[in-house]
């Protein structure tokens, strides 16, 4: 099986055959947005240049302002907190569950203040946070819920798609994700009002665009009296070439997600048979599934050092794996207040919290995590890495 097939190439050729005539612009964008919306049973899908711009646009659509707080997890790519900073708001870090590695509802509740306006969850590694509980918390406190599902396509919790719990749900098409167009993103939006505001943020605040209208007619935009910009916006539109690839990937979503799940199941079986206390696999909440952007395990570093384990695994021909991201609030950008002026919008009390000890669970497990790739397209490469992992576990056990 190939990750990119003749289907994606066919759609790209359709775009190239237009010679990029402006009259043909956004055609593939509309096709992709419709296909993605239908597959996820959503009201609206709006495409973006990446999966960070999506979240920034969602925050702008709900009128996030300086002084507002948005609760986020620290254990994820820092793009999640970047979006909050881009909206001139304050990221507030809630701790994670030590077994699922997902943002913890109890920690969310402890961090809610009168300034809290939204919660951004992350479906980490392909698993689902406790979204029913977090949705309940949002409803009780009149907060918006934004799902960052960059690493999670088609997972379910309580037989509902991850992506259907939030007011917004963001997806990424960056090259490592389940579906890719090289770069790109898409935002699911539940209601017409916010979808129209998101489209405005995505497309330079152009008047005449709406949740379902991605292009202004030529006769309208050519007239000298046309007032183009009804509000401030960004140029966050996804190029039609990327939309063409994303459309093909969306039509193949089931087979692309299945590859990751099949690989993870092989890892799960191999490691489960070994037993022992050396590795602990990521757990899922009851009635939740995982679509495994990566297969993750927590190493018992009281038994063996992370670097020592990795060196042995690689020496046995295993594919090099990643450690988890440094916790966002411990990154140099926060520690050195190098946030392009956004540090001036963060309340001093919150900024003073950005120190070791803020999220004990996340700080404990972050140095222990090992992220193994699941995007294997050749079974021989997968078997080599699984065998190397088994041998490494056996060696240290």
Q: Whole-model pTM?
A: 0.95
Q: Is residue 202 part of a domain?
A: yes
The band of 22, judged by pLDDT with boundaries at 50, 70 and 90, is confident
On whether both 88 and 14 belong to a single domain, the answer is yes
Average pLDDT for 291-317? 97
Cα 178 to Cα 367: distance, rounded to the nearest angstrom: 25
Overall domain count for the chain = 2
DSSP label of 245: H
- pLDDT, tens digit (0-9, with 9 covering 90-100), for 64-108: 999 999 999 999 999 999 999 999 999 999 999 999 999 999 999
Give 218-267 pLDDT, tens digit per residue: 666 676 767 777 888 999 999 999 999 999 999 999 999 999 999 999 99
In a domain, 1, yes or no: no
- What is the helix (H) or strand (E) element at residue 371, kind and residue range? strand 369-373
Is residue 97 in some structural domain? yes
* Same domain? 24 vs 59: yes
Query: Does the pLDDT of residue 346 top 90, yes or no?
Result: yes
Q: Is residue 323 part of a domain?
A: yes
| Residue 60 within a domain | yes
Using one digit for the tens of pLDDT, what is the confidence trace for 173-231?
Answer: 999 999 999 999 999 999 999 999 999 999 988 876 665 666 656 666 676 767 777 88
Question: Rounded distance, CA 390 to CA 379, Å?
Answer: 16
The rounded percent of the chain whose pLDDT value lies above 90 is 87
User: What residues make up the domain containing 339?
Assistant: 255-396
pLDDT at 146 over 90: yes
Instruction: Establish if 85 belongs to a structural domain.
Output: yes
Examine the domain organization and report whether 340 and 291 are in the same domain: yes
Q: Which distant-in-sequence residues (6+ apart) come within 8 Å of 336 by Cβ? A: none
Among 10, 58, 51, 47, smallest CA distance to 239 is for 47
CATH assignment at residue 240: 3.40.640.10
Q: How far apart are CA 103 and CA 33, in angstroms?
A: 29
Last residue of a domain, one of 252, 278, 307: 252
- Regarding whether 338 and 241 lie in a shared domain, the answer is no
């Amino acid at each position: 099986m190939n990750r990119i097939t003749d289907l994606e190439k066919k759609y790209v050729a359709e775009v190239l055959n237009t010679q990029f005539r402006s009259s043909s612009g956004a055609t593939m964008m509309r096709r992709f947005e419709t296909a993605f919306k239908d597959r996820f049973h959503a009201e609206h899908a709006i495409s973006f240049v990446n999966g960070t711009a999506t979240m920034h646009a969602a925050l702008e659509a709900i009128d996030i302002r300086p002084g507002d707080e948005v609760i986020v997890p620290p254990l994820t790519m820092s793009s999640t907190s970047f979006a909050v900073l881009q909206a001139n708001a304050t990221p507030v870090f809630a701790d994670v569950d030590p077994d699922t590695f997902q943002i913890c509802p109890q920690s969310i509740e402890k961090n809610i203040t009168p300034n809290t306006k939204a919660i951004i969850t992350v479906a980490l590694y392909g698993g689902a946070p406790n979204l029913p509980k977090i949705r309940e918390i949002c409803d009780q406190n009149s907060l918006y819920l934004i799902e960052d599902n960059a690493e999670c396509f088609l997972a379910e919790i309580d037989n509902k798609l991850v992506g259907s719990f939030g007011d917004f749900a963001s997806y990424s098409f960056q090259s490592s994700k389940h579906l890719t167009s090289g770069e790109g993103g898409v935002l699911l939006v539940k209601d017409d009002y916010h979808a129209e505001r998101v489209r405005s943020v995505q497309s330079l605040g152009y008047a005449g665009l709406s949740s379902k209208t991605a292009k202004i007619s030529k006769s309208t935009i050519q007239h000298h009296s046309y007032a183009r910009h009804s509000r401030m916006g960004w140029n966050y539109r996804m190029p039609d070439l990327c939309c063409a690839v994303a459309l093909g990937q969306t039509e193949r979503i089931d087979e692309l997600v299945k590859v990751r799940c099949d690989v993870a199941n092989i890892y799960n079986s191999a490691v489960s048979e070994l037993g022992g206390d050396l590795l602990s696999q990521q757990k899922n909440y009851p009635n939740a599934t995982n679509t495994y952007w990566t297969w993750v395990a927590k190493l018992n570093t009281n038994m063996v050092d992370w670097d020592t384990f990795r060196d042995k695994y690689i020496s046995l021909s295993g594919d090099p794996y990643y450690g988890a991201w440094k916790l966002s609030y411990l990154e140099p950008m926060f520690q050195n207040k190098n946030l392009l002026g956004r540090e001036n919008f963060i309340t001093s009390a919150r900024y003073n919290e950005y120190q070791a000890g803020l999220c004990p669970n996340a700080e404990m497990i972050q140095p222990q995590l090992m992220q193994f790739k699941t995007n294997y397209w050749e079974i021989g490469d997968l078997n080599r890495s699984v065998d190397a992992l088994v041998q490494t576990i056996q060696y240290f056990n």
